[in-house]
Amino acid sequence: MTNNEYKKILKSKLSEKRYKHSLCVADEAVRLSLIFGGNIEKAYLAGLLHDIMKDASNEEQLQTFKKFGIILTNIEKSAPKLWHAMSGAVYVEKVLNISDLEILNAIRYHTTAKQNMSLLEKLIYLADLTAMDRDYNGVEEMRHAVSVNLEKAMHIGLAYTINDLATHGYPIHPDTIDAYNEVILEKNNTSAADSILFSS
């Protein structure tokens, strides 16, 4: 299938606003791939399709999980906002017949993030936060961070997400906590290594 054919399907499944957001994330994912040396075609396609199930009803998403044998954890059951990433990945795999695991996982983890993310997974996670159509409080800080350092941008993105969820009393997916802890531990190790280097 060509990107134009994917766009037609996307247009039929999403509101105009969400469709435009998908195009913005695809463009942003390509821009970040050029900076950080990622695969441009995969970045565009994953960005384009990342929210393909975002406008589907809860019912339709639950049906998708049932049809393809996906079992939700208790935290996932309690957080319908996370569903579109999981149902999107399985829809893209089973209905659109895209078998590229990197693309599927970039879609799957674009909302929660996780430990040990690939470059493509990070680029889609961040492109979703820094795309042109985004205008939340703090987006400029995110855009600046992402243009300087991928790990710093992940730290800010994850901290923002965790803070926002906790403030509103929502559960936090363990994958998000794992991703956050990994970034923090790596950062601390790097600064510990730096101080050893400078003190010797």
Supply the minimum distance, in Å, between the C-beta of residue 107 and Fe ion: 9
CA atoms within 13 Å, Cβ hemisphere of 37: 0
Supply the minimum distance, in Å, between the C-beta of residue 110 and Fe ion: 6
Q: Which residue lies nearer to Fe ion by CB, 55 or 187? A: 55
Supply the minimum distance, in Å, between the C-beta of residue 193 and Fe ion: 35
Q: Count Cβ atoms within 10 A of the Cβ of residue 91 and give its class: 0-12 exposed, 13-18 middle, 19 or more buried.
A: buried
Supply the minimum distance, in Å, between the C-beta of residue 22 and Fe ion: 7
Q: Which residue lies nearer to Fe ion by CB, 51 or 175? A: 51
User: Please, what is the angle between helix 3-13 and helix 40-49, to 10°?
Assistant: 20
Q: Which residue lies nearer to Fe ion by CB, 95 or 185? A: 95
Spatial contact of 77 and 60, defined as CB atoms under 8 Å apart: no
Contact residues toward Fe ion (CB under 5 A) are: 51, 128
- Residue 63 has phi, psi (to 5 degrees) of -60, -40
Q: Which residue lies nearer to Fe ion by CB, 95 or 193? A: 95
Q: Which residue's entry shows tokens 């430990």?
A: 115
